[in-house]
Chains A and B, each alone.
Chain A
Amino acid sequence: MTTITAARRARPRTQLRAGLLFLLPSAVLIGVFVIYPIANSLWMSLHDWTFFQTTHEFVGPANYLELLGDPRFWNALGNTAVFTLATVPAQIILGLLLAVRLSRARWWTSLMRSVFFFPVISSFATMAIVWKFVLSADVGPTAAWLRGAGIQPIDWLHTPNLALGAIIMVGLWKNIGFTMVILIAALQDVPESLNEAAVLDGAGPWGRFRNVTLPSIRQALLFASIIAVIASLQVFDQVYVMTGGGPLFRTETLVTYMYEQGFGQYRSGYAAAIAWALFLLIAIVSAFQLRIFRYRDVD
């Protein structure tokens, strides 16, 4: 008896120690490559930190105060907000429509799912270069066909009022597949019994969708929308490649502004402040989303 109890008491402790030791390599990696840079960037944001200097002056909240009065920051924030508000609902709704259409396994649904998912896994920078070429009003296949047909092509990327629309469209093209895949998986889990019960109660397709399907996939919808919002607030790739933030800063987003300040003007401290402002924004928005979806409630 003593031996067994002693062994039982000993096992958790050695397991704990062994477990911690096995965590050590990952912890070291995360500490060095994730936690340290994050803490360092907060430190940088409190200094007047130019890339080339070897000593830096502590200025406290000065960078953040400068942000508040910086018209380019507010412009970037506005553009980022417009981009997010335009992309996320569209992404969820279109992704849901696709998921519903493609949730049943026919011979062609597999192919179509791959077609829509392919942009998600492709290299965004490369795809953005291709899109830039396609949308060009001067050199590119679309321009050639349109001019050949006597139509003046629209210069999407160089027209201040249209450039953000092009950025939004490319963003949607890239990410709809991701939402679709998540929702397809969620749709498979909708209990068929509920659907049958609804049919017996006389519910039509829309009624079933509204009262059975949607509530059942609520968790997945929440997940997809939170991921979509977080990703949209950090939009960078297609803006950097397609418009560089122009024309006249009309497509400049928080991350492209941060990149330009940090690596174009070498103002590392200010760029770090922008990064933390973005972090704050994402945290607030995500908390809000979780609240309104009543995440804690379990159906």
Chain B
Amino acid sequence: MHAKKLLAAVAVTATVALGIAGCAPSGDGSDGDVVTLTYWSGFTGGDRQAYEDLIQKFNDEHENIQIDYQLQPWDSIAQKLPTAIAAGSGPDLATPDYNVATIQQYASNGLALPLDDLIGDGDTQVGEGILPETVTDSFSLDGKLYAAPANYATLLLYYNKDLLDAAGVEVPTTMEELQAAAVTLSDGNGQYGFAIPDNATIPNWPVLIWADGGDLIQDGCSALGSDATVGTVETWAGLIRDDKISPIGATGQEAQDLFAAGKTAFQINGPWAAGAFTEAGINFDVAPVPVGASGSPVTLASTVPTIVSATTKHPKEAQEFLAWWLSKETQAQLSTAAAYAPSRTDMADDPAITSNPTVAAFAAEVPNARLYLPTEMDFSKIDVDIFTPAIQSATQNGNAAEALAAADGQLNELLGC
């Protein structure tokens, strides 16, 4: 009787233990000559097919390296990746975050592999100076490169051709023209001229501020209190509050939905939105972001970094994949499929880019594009606790000067100025 009960209890414990063990991620694959690399990717959005097709192409072209492409939501990756890498059981490749500054965290904590083999003249390497400087600067720490760009997007001004034509408004080329056009195209009753999101979005407000010569951080200290920054925010906040050109407190998705519903004439967005707007049947086009008081064209660059795990067993093969990803052929296909600008600076005249007007438009802005808080380790705190509340206060309460002065103080304290 003892033995049976003991056996039964042990059997149940063993089953449970096996069950728990089964939940652990499987180790890397090295089946004979074929190296399998696991790649955790966050590209679950409308452009995911473009990425999946390219991964398939890589797998077809490479007999000895295969990519196991695993899609996951961004916050899922953020929660699991650091501990997985530290434990040696993580993927070989990963897109840790769509925020560029996260790379600084990964690099300084020894979680990302320095990509020493990526840049060079070899067949499976990317030439020196091919990647945009903004990208290599923000992906580097202490002179070593820790990530490669999975994509490179710029923002353009989307406009609804029907709404502009009906009101007889020309496509604006300066910020003043955009402001006037936005007022004309708003009716104060749910029809907006220019929907500007301020949270959970690809940054819009920084673009408006940069256009007028302002900034968030300049020379390592806060520029939030500068005349240019305050003036710009005051102007736009006034238009939003008084002329109702935009809803207040909108998220990026809400602003995008408004454009897709034909309820806003202008929207600043990236190439990923084009598909959604086409599907929604909007008669739209894109134009460069209008030039502001600074006199120079400027827009936002957005790039998603791909890292190689510091604990990968196949560093060479992983970097070979990254070099393939950054090759002209791959970048041309990615640009055509998803309207991203190529991540290379030597493809401006490439027929694949120039033949597609939307792609060409986004690619043309690459020299004018800036990254948002690319090297600040505290970028999340700056964005969530300091910058966004100041903007929201300016639009909700109309106190731009006060709110920005307070934010200026907080940011300087954080930066140690």
The contact string, 1 if C-beta is below 8 Å from chain A, for chain B 373-385, is 0000000110011
Please state if B6 and A247 are interface contacts (CB–CB under 8 Å). Answer: no
Q: Which of B2, B108, B247, B381 contacts A265 (CB 8 A)?
A: B381
A158 within 8 A of B: yes
Q: A14-B1, A28-B13 are in contact. Are A152 and B189 (CB under 8 A)?
A: yes
Which of B34-42, B74-82, B136-144, B364-372 lies at the interface with chain A?
A: B74-82
Please state if B263 and A139 are interface contacts (CB–CB under 8 Å). Answer: yes
Please state if B190 and A138 are interface contacts (CB–CB under 8 Å). Answer: yes
A115 within 8 A of B: no
Q: A138-B190, A244-B251 are in contact. Are A21 and B5 (CB under 8 A)?
A: yes
A165 within 8 A of B: no
B261 within 8 A of A: yes
Please state if B392 and A14 are interface contacts (CB–CB under 8 Å). Answer: no
Among residues 350 to 369 in chain B, which have CB atoms less than 8 Å away from a CB atom of chain A? none
Minimal beta-carbon separation of A156 from chain B (angstroms): 11
**Residues on the B chain within 8 Å of A138, using CB:** 190, 247, 254, 257-258, 261, 263
B86 within 8 A of A: yes
B411 within 8 A of A: no
Please state if A160 and B261 are interface contacts (CB–CB under 8 Å). Answer: no
**Residues on the A chain within 8 Å of B20, using CB:** 29, 32
Please state if B2 and A54 are interface contacts (CB–CB under 8 Å). Answer: no
B415 within 8 A of A: no
Please state if A246 and B384 are interface contacts (CB–CB under 8 Å). Answer: no
Please state if B13 and A248 are interface contacts (CB–CB under 8 Å). Answer: no
Q: Which of B9, B15, B257 contacts A22 (CB 8 A)?
A: B9
- In the complex, A143 Cα to B380 Cα: how many Å? 33
Q: Which of B200, B247, B393 contacts A158 (CB 8 A)?
A: B247
B389 within 8 A of A: yes
A202 within 8 A of B: no
Q: Which of A54, A244, A248, A266 contacts B105 (CB 8 A)?
A: A266
**Residues on the B chain within 8 Å of A25, using CB:** 9, 12-13, 15-16
A69 within 8 A of B: no
B9, B247, B254 pick with most chain A CB within 10 angstroms:
B9
Identify the B interface with A (CB < 8 A).
1-2, 5-6, 8-10, 12-13, 15-17, 20, 75, 78-79, 82, 86, 105-106, 108-111, 189-190, 199-200, 247-251, 254, 257-258, 261, 263, 380-381, 384-385, 389, 392-393, 396
Q: List 18 additional contacts besides A54-B109, A147-B189, A160-B396; criterion CB under 8 Å.
A: A18-B2, A18-B9, A21-B10, A24-B9, A51-B105, A52-B109, A72-B385, A138-B254, A138-B257, A138-B261, A155-B247, A158-B247, A246-B249, A247-B248, A248-B393, A260-B384, A265-B384, A266-B380
Q: List 28 A-B contacts (CB under 8 A).
A: A14-B1, A21-B5, A22-B12, A24-B12, A25-B12, A25-B15, A28-B13, A28-B17, A29-B16, A29-B20, A52-B106, A54-B86, A54-B110, A138-B254, A138-B257, A138-B258, A138-B261, A139-B258, A139-B263, A143-B190, A147-B189, A158-B248, A246-B249, A248-B389, A249-B389, A265-B380, A265-B381, A266-B380
